[in-house]
């Protein structure tokens, strides 16, 4: 039974899927399936099905790890936001390598809102109105009936990445914590990939192609999405029975239906007044992140670049 020794901890919509898929194809890397088990974020318990919250079940995700796999990892995007995940990972493996990915919050918030809408945790289609609902939702009001973790709809908290990186640095020493910037992954994915391999102590595998992965998406048919994103209990029970009979962890049927019902789409530009509100909200946090990374991030909040 293998054990993970590195973790891509988030943040969501910051390139974690792309990086994890690039690493998955490296011959010395084993990445878990599913990509995001979220075993250590116990403050976000919706990820756990009955019987699946055990360490034994979690480690089963890494059964295929062999001596050729120098790096064994997973990529759970809410670990960085979670208050419990990183200390729990440190207790699990004090020597674990942690990769965090950050992004301009003015881009992250609309992207995260789009993702929450796609997975049916969000029912307010306008990101500015969803932003305005944060306080009432914090108080337990105006929450969509399908929301699994209300904290995920606190877009301001979720995108305060300076505070989250600061907490991560309090848990793990600098040599075990790598923070990557989404801008760099977009502009020079080869260099970002090489930096990641060096951090993980891996030889370069010669990769030269870095396709865009996990672009903004929408459903082709909402009726299908209502079933695939929130499968009825009877369907889940039937699938669980089939998996027990076959002795496998995943059937992959829902994944294939979701993929066929998915289409890429361009996200509308947010309202300028909303962008101005976010700019002021995140000003101190972006400055904090810049100090932590020893990097000038002031351009993120420059109106001329919006």
What's the rounded Cα separation, in Å, for the pair 229 and 259?
12
pTM as predicted = 0.84
**pLDDT tens track for 54-95:** 899 899 999 999 999 999 999 999 999 999 999 999 999 999
Cis amide leading into 118 (omega within 30) = no
**pLDDT tens track for 33-59:** 989 999 999 999 876 655 668 899 899
Question: In the predicted model, is pLDDT for residue 24 greater than 90?
Answer: yes
Predicted pLDDT of residue 258 = 52
Write the CB contacts of 69 (distance below 8 Å, at least 6 apart in sequence).
2, 28, 29, 30
Predicted pLDDT of residue 45 = 80
Predicted pLDDT of residue 200 = 98
**pLDDT tens track for 103-112:** 999 999 999 9
Q: What sign does the CA torsion over 109, 110, 111, 117 have?
A: positive
Question: In the predicted model, is pLDDT for residue 260 greater than 80?
Answer: no
Predicted pLDDT of residue 269 = 85
Q: Which of the listed CATH numbers 3.40.50.300, 2.40.30.10, 1.10.1370.40, 1.40.20.10 matches domain 6-109+156-210+282-305?
A: 3.40.50.300
What's the rounded Cα separation, in Å, for the pair 288 and 227?
42
Q: How far is CA 5 from CA 22, 26, 72, 148, 163, in A?
A: 17, 16, 5, 29, 24
What's the rounded Cα separation, in Å, for the pair 282 and 139?
22
Which is nearest to 281 in space by CA: 192, 161, 171, 176? 161
Q: What sign does the CA torsion over 92, 97, 98, 99 have?
A: negative
Q: What sign does the CA torsion over 144, 147, 150, 156 have?
A: negative
What's the rounded Cα separation, in Å, for the pair 106 and 284?
13
The residue extents of the domains of the chain are 6-109+156-210+282-305
Write the CB contacts of 5 (distance below 8 Å, at least 6 apart in sequence).
71, 72, 73, 93, 95, 96, 97
Tokens 């992959």 -> residue:
252
pLDDT, mean of residues 243-259: 56
Q: Collapse the DSSP code of 73 into the 3-class scheme (helix H, G, I; strand E, B; otherwise coil) and give the result.
A: strand
**pLDDT tens track for 193-238:** 999 999 999 999 999 999 988 655 454 455 554 555 556 555 555 5
Q: How far is CA 114 from CA 22, 80, 158, 193, 258, in A?
A: 24, 20, 14, 27, 16
Cα 182 versus chain centre, distance: 13
């Amino acid at each position: 039974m293998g054990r993970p020794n590195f973790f891509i901890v988030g943040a969501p919509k910051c390139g974690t899927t792309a990086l994890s898929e690039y690493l998955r194809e490296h011959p010395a890397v084993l990445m878990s399936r599913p990509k995001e088990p979220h075993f250590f974020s116990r403050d976000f318990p919706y990820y756990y099905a009955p019987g699946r919250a055990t360490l034994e079940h979690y480690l089963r995700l890494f059964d295929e790890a062999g001596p050729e796999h120098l790096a064994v990892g997973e990529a759970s995007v809410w670990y960085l936001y979670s208050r419990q995940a990183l200390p729990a990972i440190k207790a699990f493996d004090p020597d674990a390598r942690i990769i965090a990915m950050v992004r301009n919050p003015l881009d992250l918030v609309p992207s995260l809102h789009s993702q929450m809408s796609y997975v049916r945790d969000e029912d307010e289609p306008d990101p500015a109105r969803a932003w305005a609902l944060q306080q009432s939702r914090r108080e337990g009001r105006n929450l969509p009936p399908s929301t699994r973790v209300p904290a995920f709809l606190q877009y301001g908290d979720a995108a305060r990445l300076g505070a989250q990186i600061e907490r991560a640095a309090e848990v793990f020493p600098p040599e075990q914590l790598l923070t990557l910037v989404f801008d760099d992954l977009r502009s020079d994915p080869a260099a970002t990939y090489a930096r990641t391999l060096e951090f993980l102590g891996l030889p370069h595998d010669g990769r030269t192609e870095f396709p865009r992965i996990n672009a903004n998406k929408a459903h082709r048919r909402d009726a299908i999405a209502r079933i695939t994103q929130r499968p009825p209990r009877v369907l889940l029970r039937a699938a669980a029975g089939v998996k027990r009979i076959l002795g496998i962890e995943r059937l992959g049927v829902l994944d294939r239906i979701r993929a066929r019902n998915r289409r890429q789409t361009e996200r509308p530009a947010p309202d300028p007044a909303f962008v101005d509100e976010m700019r002021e909200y995140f000003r101190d946090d972006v400055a904090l992140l810049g100090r932590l990374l020893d990097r000038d991030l002031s351009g993120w909040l420059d109106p001329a670049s919006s």
